[in-house]
Chain A
Amino acid sequence: MQSEGGRNAREAMREGVSSYVGALAGSVASGHPLTSYLLGGELLDRGVSLIAVTAFLVSWVTVGSIQLPAEMLMLGRRFALYRNSICFVLAILTAVLTPTTLQVLHLAP
């Protein structure tokens, strides 16, 4: 019989991996943000966690691996690399905090 602590740790690990995978998928994707909302909505309907979907939505619009060469050319290599790395980490943080805040405020859908 598994302990409550073990289950919580496994759940936290699963959410961490979900947000990472979501952020990774959003980072390499490109296109109009409208597409990300449609995809995110469909993923949510098919049982993907809100954390993963939020990471996907946020990294889609804040991390631009497709636009990276242009950003490096116009704003500098260090600027582009640092900015996209920071945005990737913040996409994961936002993904964890947004559903948590909804739950804390009893506003979760």
Chain B
Amino acid sequence: MTAKSTMRGGLWFLLAVLLLYGIAFLLDPTSTNLALDRSAELFSRLLPVLGFVISVLFIASLLLQPSWVRENLGERSGPRGWVLAVAGGILSAGPVYPWYAMLGDLRSKGMRTALMSVFLYNRAIKLPLLPLLIHYFGPAYALILFVYLILFSLPAGLLLERLIDGRPAPHRGNKPPPARSGD
């Protein structure tokens, strides 16, 4: 799917929503006003998340150069790439949406599919919530659960890479993989 067709689809969707609101307003102005109020409230709640997404993308574009990404998170990153993906996933915080956007950006710069999956899987480990997990389930449970989460993230990443890319990633030199916008 190209950016142009996505934009066109978005415009059609916007027009359809406006049309539906127009029809609804003619039929029941009070309920439509209530719905508009709810939409405005929802939009105001989403604004900080959108701001965060844009900030993360801006910082990632500024700091993470394609050569760095290919070297540390690309096909030839080796154990360093896995460690970075695990650590990044554990340390990442906040809503997942900005991280989707950042991973999409990193993939276009050469990040391995497996490492993207590992990053997302390890977001399951929430260090700030560890005291609560220990309170309810005990320290041994928390430790074993975290170990399994980290261990399983690796085969999950490899399996996903095999399913998406067809086979284990070959050596691609310094060329980044082609960007995949929407499959």
Check A1 for interface membership: any CB of B closer than 8 A: no
Contact A107/B180 with A67-B96, A86-B159, A90-B156 known, Cβ cut-off 8 Å:
no
Q: Is the CB of B121 within 8 A of A75?
A: no
CB contacts under 8 Å to B, within A53-76, are 54, 57-58, 61-62, 64, 67, 70-76
Identify 9 residue pairs between A and B in the complex whose beta-carbon atoms are under 8 Å apart, listed by A's number: A41-B136, A62-B120, A62-B124, A67-B97, A72-B182, A74-B104, A75-B107, A77-B182, A98-B145
Q: Is the CB of B183 within 8 A of A77?
A: yes
A94: chain B residues within 8 A (beta carbon): 145, 148-149, 152
- Residue-by-residue, is A84-105 near B (CB-CB < 8 Å gives 1, otherwise 0)? 0011001001100110011001
Q: Which residues of A contact B (CB under 8 A)?
A: 33-34, 37-38, 40-41, 44, 54, 57-58, 61-62, 64, 67, 70-79, 82-83, 86-87, 90, 93-94, 97-98, 101-102, 105, 107, 109
A78: chain B residues within 8 A (beta carbon): 163-164, 183
In the assembled complex, the CB of A91 is this many whole angstroms from the nearest CB of chain B, namely 9
State A62–B119 Cα separation when bound (angstroms). Answer: 11
Q: Is the CB of B144 within 8 A of A61?
A: no
Q: Is the CB of B121 within 8 A of A87?
A: yes
Closest A-chain residue to B145, C-beta based? A98
